[in-house]
Amino acid sequence: MKITLDSPLDMHLHLREGDLLSITVPCSSLHFSGGVVMPNLIDPVTSLDYLLNYRRAIEFYCQNTAFQPYMTLFFSAYPADVLRQAREHIVGIKLYPAGVTTQSENGVTDFDGIEPTLAVMEELGIPLLVHGETGGFVLDREKAFLATYRRFAETFPDLHIVMEHITTADSIDLLNRYENLSATVTLHHLMITLDDVIGGLMNPHLFCKPVAKTPRDRDALREAVLSGHPRIMFGSDSAPHPVDKKECSGCAAGIFSAPVALLLLTELFERADRLDVLQGFVSDIARTRYGLKPPMKQVTLHTKPFRVPERYGSVRPYYGGSEIGWSVAEIR
C-alpha cells in the first residue's frame, strides 16, 4: 500500500537552538514542507532582529531541502508599530501563561492587561497561538483555561485563535462553538494516555506538557481528527531534550517525535481506515486556516517496516528502537 502526501506541515514545532539545531532541523525538514517554530528559547524571541537571526540559523541546517520555517514571536505587550513591522515575517504570536511549560517564566500573568495587544493583532490579521493551561492541578489545567479561550473568542471575533496541542474532550467541545478558534493536535496525544506515562514504571520519554490525559480524552481527539474536523491541524509539539535531561530527577517535559511523526500518523490513520483525511490533517486545513502557500514537496509512504534509531545524537526519539509498519518510499 502507498500514499502520497502533498507539502506536509507541522504546525507546532520546537527546534531549540545551538547544537540541537543540527539534529532537529534535518529531522523536520526531511519529511515536512514547513513548520511553525515555537519562540520559547532560553532567551525568548521577542524582537524582530532576534527572530530573523533565529530563522537564518534554522535555514542553515535545512540541507537544501524545501522547508519553510514559519516564525513566531513570544507574546508581549508589543507597540502597534512593532507588530506592523513584524507582520510579514511571522505566522503568529505565541502566548504562554507564566510558568506553565518549558522556558515560559516570562509568560503572561495579567490576562486583562493584554487586550490592547490582542486588538492590534486582530486589526492586523496576526493569529494568536496559545498554550492553554493554568497553574492549577495538572489534570485540570487545560479545562480551567477554557474560560479564557471563550472570552478571547467572543471579545475578538475576527482574531484567529489557535488552541495549541489540545488534549481533552472539553477542548473539542469548545472548539466546535467558535468559528475563529482552530486547534492543533499532537501525534502522542492521539496515541497515549497518562497510564502509559506513570501506570507502571515511570517512562520519562513520554512525559510532556500538557500531560497525556484519560482514554476518554484520547478517544475524543481521535474521533475529531479522524472525522476530518475542518479546524484541527497537525502540530507535533516535537520537543527534544538530551537523554541526560530526560533520564534524571526532575526530568524535562517533551517528546521528540519529528523523525517518526509522519510515519506513525500514516499507520494510525490506516488502521482506522481513514487515510482519506490524512492530507487534510497534515496540510490542507493549515493552509486554509493560516492562508499558507508552502514549498512543494511530495512525500510517498509505503507499507515497508522501519526501525527507529535509538538515538539522534544526544536525543532519544519517540518509538526509539521500535519498528513502525510504514516508511518513506520517495520524497520529491
By annotation, the residues acting in catalysis are 237
What is the C-alpha separation between 310 and 113, in angstroms, rounded?
A: 46
| 244 Cβ neighbours under 8 A, 6+ residues apart | 314
In Å, what is the CA distance from 271 to each residue of 3, 152, 156, 193, 259?
A: 14, 37, 40, 19, 20
**Nearest-5° Cα angle at 319, 313 to 321:** 65
Please report how the helices 21-31 and 48-60 are oriented relative to each other, as an axis angle in degrees rounded to 10: 70
Look at the block and give the residue holding cell 531541502. Answer: 65
| 58 Cβ neighbours under 8 A, 6+ residues apart | 15, 21, 25, 37, 69
